[in-house]
Amino acid sequence: MSNALVLLARRLRAHSTDAETLIWRFLRSRQLAGAKFRRQYPVGPYILDFCCEELKLVVEIDGSQHLEPNGIKEDQKRTRFLERRGLRVLRFDNHQVLTETEAVLACIWEAVERARLLPSP
């Protein structure tokens, strides 16, 4: 892992969006179903918003730029990269997180519980 990527991850942690800050309040310290999530976690050339390595689960919180054609294309490429490494990716947009927080958390909780039921590769 490059030093530049680690420094960027640290900078992103210090400057989280409102939506990321909100979700982190519920994911940190194993608060959601006992799953250990890390935030702004480097994997390959990417920095993941939230990652639970144990369960191979990624949670991405996307801003409006991800809804534009280039953003969609880049997200698809990123998701394929992560899925090839055995990770499951959940995506939510900022608006969804801020206005439907309970539904987003329920979706993450269900994914955590489902991941625990899957046999380890």
> Could you give the CA distance from residue 118 to residue 121 in angstroms, rounded to a whole number?
9
* Distance in Å from the first CA to the final CA of the chain: 24
What is the rounded average pLDDT of the residues 64-91?
A: 88
pLDDT, tens only, 21-71: 999 999 999 999 999 999 999 999 999 999 999 999 999 998 866 566 788
* pLDDT tops 60 at residue 118: yes
pLDDT value, residue 65: 66
CA dihedral 7, 13, 19, 21 (to 10 degrees): 180
pLDDT value, residue 61: 95
Q: Where are the domains of the chain?
A: 3-117
Rg (CA), the chain: 14
What is the rounded average pLDDT of the residues 101-121?
A: 90
Beta strand 46-52 with 57-62 is antiparallel
Instruction: Tell me yes or no: is domain 3-117 CATH 3.40.50.2000.
Output: no
pLDDT value, residue 86: 96
* pLDDT tops 80 at residue 2: no
Closest CA to 13 of 53, 54, 41: 41
